[in-house]
Amino acid sequence: MERSLVLIKPDAMQRGLAGTIITRLEKQGLKLIAVKMLHLDKALARRHYAIHKDKPFFNGLVDYISSVPIVAAVFEGEGAIAVIRKTMGATDPAKAEAGTIRGDFGLDIEQNSVHGSDSIETAEKEIKLFFSEDEIFNYHQ
């Protein structure tokens, strides 16, 4: 079954939106199979966003994502990656449709409330960065 890493980003944590965002993903029929709260250090932030290391916004993004404790989760389901990307909305909240997480809650193109993996390969790598195998669960609903 397909899996995706989800991060509830600092802007959402600071506004008490973690539960709301998890609920929106659960309502899509996705199953929560791992969850933890952690304060990213700069090294993990840099590894998670390594693909953007040459972008002008990289240092700001690393500072932002490591600014306050966040919630990391793994969701599982058929087509989970695409379902989550659609539920999140466009990267820039100004361009995200109403009813999407970023459209409803995102503050700007950096502080856009939520992260979701963008491919199966990325998801596998990202999940390994945040979770060990024994922190990921398998159960029947």
Catalytic residues: 115
Among 2, 92, 104, 118, binds Mg ion (CB under 5 A): 118
Least separation, in Å, of the C-beta of 131 and ligand IDP?
19
The reply to whether 119 sits near ligand IDP by the rule CB under 6 A is: no
- For residue 73, count CB atoms less than 10 angstroms from its CB and return exposed for 0-12, middle for 13-18, buried for 19 or more: buried
CA distance linking residue 6 with residue 37, whole number of Å: 12
| CB neighbours of residue 49 within 10 Å | 16
Least separation, in Å, of the C-beta of 55 and ligand IDP?
7
Q: Report the candidate in 118, 87, 111 with the shortest Cα–Cα distance to residue 13.
A: 111
Total of chain residues touching ligand IDP, rule CB under 6 A: 9
Nearest CB to Mg ion, comparing residues 4 and 66: 4
What residue ranges bind ligand IDP (CB under 6 A)?
A: 52, 57, 61, 91, 109-110, 112, 115, 118
